[in-house]
Amino acid sequence: MRKRTGIRGRLRVDLERMRILISNDDGILAPGLAALVHAVADLGDIDVVAPDSPQSAAGHAITLRHPLTVRRIKVDGPRGFCGISVDGRPADCVRLAVRNLVPAVPDLVLSGINAGSNVGINVFYSGTVAAAAEGAMFGLPAVAFSAAVAGDVDFDAIARHCRLVLDGLLKAGIAAGDVINVNIPPLEGGNPKGVQVVRQSKAEIEDLYVCETDPDGRECYRLGAQYAFGPSDRDTDVVSLGEGYITVTPLHIDRTDYPAVERLRQHFADRNV
């Protein structure tokens, strides 16, 4: 257990008993969250702090315009748990949890399991990844779990794969401040082909805004639910997940383009403008 100051280092599985904060973006009642809580319960003390309503595609938004209402609730069901709901965004949940709500700073932050994959540039839109990234911004190791699913699925089976990947990550060591983005392929066709550690694809999303007319006759546009990625390089999360592999992509909070820093530094040093 850490003090509320945050400690940078590398989390290894040999920590005696971890304190784990779990959040998500599908909301505190989402079955993927309950499955994840259940799948890691034996690893330590679990705190669940999650949005009170679905927040998919919230990205890394935080709430400034209203106070965040929290409720301590018991989620019923076979995978029931006690947790705290927040009427905010995923990043709000993790930030408020670490600052105020949990008894001690977590050793590990988990997010998910999201109903839907978060690969490629969806990483930027993802509230699931943002919740984990918020943990990483506190210098904590963080893992985001998402599954390429649609509709009702067996999240327990998905959670078992998440747990196996987490065990592997803990053995390998997760660098504090890193976000590990994990995606599970559809399981209808059987077990995943394996685990591939791959980079994030930058492939374009080919989506469609559907033009509609609202009840007052105003022109409006709805982003269609269907989308596809454009061509993507091999050895990326988009391609590997599509081929049926579990993908593991370590992300950086520091988004600096270092070669560009050098190039621009040179430019401004030479010309002073």
| Binding interface with Mn ion (CB under 5 A) | 25-26, 56, 114
Neighbours of 34 (CB within 10 A): 25
Nearer to Mn ion among residue 146 and residue 201 (C-beta) = 146
The CA distance from 88 to 53, in Å, is 8
Q: How far is the CB of 26 from Mn ion (least distance, A)?
A: 4
Residue 81's DSSP bridge partners are: 75
The CA distance from 47 to 229, in Å, is 35
Tell me if 144 sits within 8 A of 179, measured CB to CB: yes
Residue 74's DSSP bridge partners are: 82
In this structure, which amino acid lies at residue 210? V
Nearer to Mn ion among residue 50 and residue 166 (C-beta) = 50
Q: How far is the CB of 267 from Mn ion (least distance, A)?
A: 41
**Region of residue 272 (left: phi > 0; alpha: psi -120 to 50; beta: else):** left
Nearer to Mn ion among residue 114 and residue 122 (C-beta) = 114
Nearer to Mn ion among residue 56 and residue 232 (C-beta) = 56
Nearer to Mn ion among residue 90 and residue 177 (C-beta) = 90
Q: How far is the CB of 8 from Mn ion (least distance, A)?
A: 29
Q: How far is the CB of 103 from Mn ion (least distance, A)?
A: 27
Tell me if 87 sits within 8 A of 27, measured CB to CB: no
The CA distance from 172 to 4, in Å, is 25
Q: How far is the CB of 6 from Mn ion (least distance, A)?
A: 27
